[in-house]
Amino acid sequence: MTTDAVRRHDPARRTFASDNYAGVHPEILEAIALANEGHQVSYGDDVYTEALQGVFRRHFGEQAEAFPVFNGTAANVVSLRSMCAHWEAVICPETAHVNSDEGGAPEVVGGFKLLTVPTPDGKLTPDLLDRQAWGFGDVHRSQPRAVTISNATEVGTVYTPAEIRALCDHAHELGLVVHLDGSRLTNAAAALDVPLRALTTDAGVDVLSFGGTKIGLMLGEAVVVLNPSAARGLPYLRKTSMQLASKMRFVSVQFEALLAGDLWLRNARRANAMARRLAAAVRDLPGVTVPRPVEANGVFAILPADVADRLRKRFRFYNWDEQIGGGMIEVRWMCAFDTTEADVDAFAAALAEELRA
């Protein structure tokens, strides 16, 4: 078999911009090929999507029900739409992905308001939740209904099971339901060496957005309902949100390959380990500060802006905070499941060269 496609990139080039930049894990590609021969029923009535429910239930409990979607923004918006009416609101950290990186989709498409809270370490606590959990019954205020948190957070920190349990208990006492953005849940679980359910089902989370793309999938995330009473109409919301894949078997089989064995854990451990290696390699370089703990697969660093600009020509990465002042800038470096020791060492060496220059 031949193809007319042409490779248009250098496969040896690595970046530290996002774990989304990585390719597809070979075991995932094998699974897609396995599901490719012959015909299967479309729109999720295939044998792979049926089998996927059992895979998710082994990780999250017998009550769990998974709804594969195309991407993370959709997983978050569809999840929260199922939890909120249009007059209701979602409380979240200011740094939450739903607030800062989804182009207004939660409010434009979801139709609910976001109520944000400043969180220095990216984590919402019961006390911080109370800053927005008020005005119940006040017709002039969007009614708080749901809470959403991310684990790992957007600033690289990780909630423990106890922290999530305390937040969920407080939210539930207030009549709120809890959603968890788990685009990097595997990294958080690997960092803490706990099962996935310890950070979700067992901690009281009601609905989960489970991430696949950042940990080795070609495409696909999943809305996972952990508490059926907290979400309504998900099969219909997924369709009206244009997230019902016709050839869903190719999304579902990827999750089976990721979760049926330990691929998710192997991939997450490698990405986390490479982030720790990177932090150790750059932390003592003159002119570099690593101000945040490295708990998952992200490293945040403060360095001279001109150095960052030169280094970016060699290794792509993103700015995080350009308001540091004094010619300094905070950047974010992400490691992926395919980041190697050699990649990290080459990046650290390049940074040292640019600092000397």
pLDDT, residue 333, reads: 98
**DSSP single-letter state for residue 174:** T
Cβ atoms within 10 A of the Cβ of 310, count? 16
pLDDT of residue 1: 59
Helices (H), 176-324: 185-192, 234-240, 249-259, 263-282, 305-312
Residue 290's CB is within 10 A of a number of other CB atoms, namely 19
Contact present, 69 and 221 (Cβ < 8 Å): yes
SS3 content of the chain, % helix, strand, coil (to 5): 40, 20, 40
81 and 111 Cβ atoms separated by less than 8 Å: yes
Q: Which pLDDT value is given to residue 36?
A: 97
Whole-angstrom Cα distance, residue 189 to residue 201? 13
Chain-centroid distance, C-alpha 319: 19
**CA-based nearest residue to 168, from 150, 182, 147:** 147
**Quick one: pLDDT at residue 14?**
87
Nearest CA to 198 out of 215, 212, 185 is that of: 185
Q: What is the pLDDT of residue 13?
A: 87
Bridge partners, 318 (sequence order): 332
Q: 208-251, pLDDT tens digit by residue?
A: 999 999 999 999 999 999 999 999 999 999 999 999 999 999 99
Which parts of the chain register pLDDT below 70? 1
| Alpha helix positions (H), the chain | 26-34, 47-60, 72-83, 97-100, 105-108, 126-129, 161-173, 185-192, 234-240, 249-259, 263-282, 305-312, 341-356
DSSP designation for 212:
-
